[in-house]
Structure 1
Amino acid sequence: MLVVFRAYGPVRDVVGAKRVERELPSGATVGDLLSGLLEEYPDLESLLYADGDLGDAVSLTVDGVNVSRLEGLETVLSAGDDVRAAPPIHGG
């Protein structure tokens, strides 16, 4: 299944593109997608992870929903999902 990964801010700087597509097996998770991306872009690890879990330096969403509101790294992806990694937006 084809999944789109969109990178913004420092993630885009590391990946070198705003959009990358990945073909994943059925039942793949957000963690699987990120593992594959880390093999290609090892500098992503410091942006995405803290103490072995997702950190807070980057907001990670699947189809507009933050993965922290889903199943985190275990969130199962579907064909056509849009996974975005961007600096969190703070406001007041």
Structure 2
Amino acid sequence: MLVVFRAYGPVRDAVGAKTVERELPPDATLEDLLAELLAEHPDLADLLYADGDLGDAVSLTVDGVSVSRLDGLETTLSPGDEVRAAPPIHGG
């Protein structure tokens, strides 16, 4: 299945592109996608992870929903999903 990864800010700098497409197996999770990206771009680890889990330096969403409201790294992806990684937005 095809999944789109959109990167913003420092994540974009680390992967060298705003949009990356990946073909993943049908039962793939967010963790599977990130593992593929990390294999090519190891600098992403410092941006995405803290103490072995997702950190808070980057906000990750799947089709506009924060992965913290889904199943985190175990979020199952579907064909055509769009995963976005961007610096968190703070409001006041």
Q: Return the TM-score normalized by structure 2.
A: 0.99
Residue equivalent to 1:16: 16
Tell me how far 1:14 sits from its aligned partner.
0.6
* Structure 1 runs not aligned, ≥5 long: none
Tell me how far 1:58 sits from its aligned partner.
0.1
Residue equivalent to 1:42: 42
Q: Return the TM-score normalized by structure 1.
A: 0.99
Runs of 4+ in 1 over 3 A off after TM superposition: none
Tell me how far 1:30 sits from its aligned partner.
0.2
Residue equivalent to 1:72: 72
Residue equivalent to 1:4: 4
Percent identity over the alignment? 82
Query: How many equivalent pairs are there?
Result: 92
Tell me how far 1:64 sits from its aligned partner.
0.2
Q: State the superposition RMSD in angstroms.
A: 0.3
Residue equivalent to 2:62: 62
For 1:44, the aligned partner's letter is: L
Q: Per-residue displacement from partner, 1:38-81 (whole Å, max 9, x unpaired)?
A: 00000000000000000000000000000000000000000000
2:91 is paired with a residue whose SS is: coil
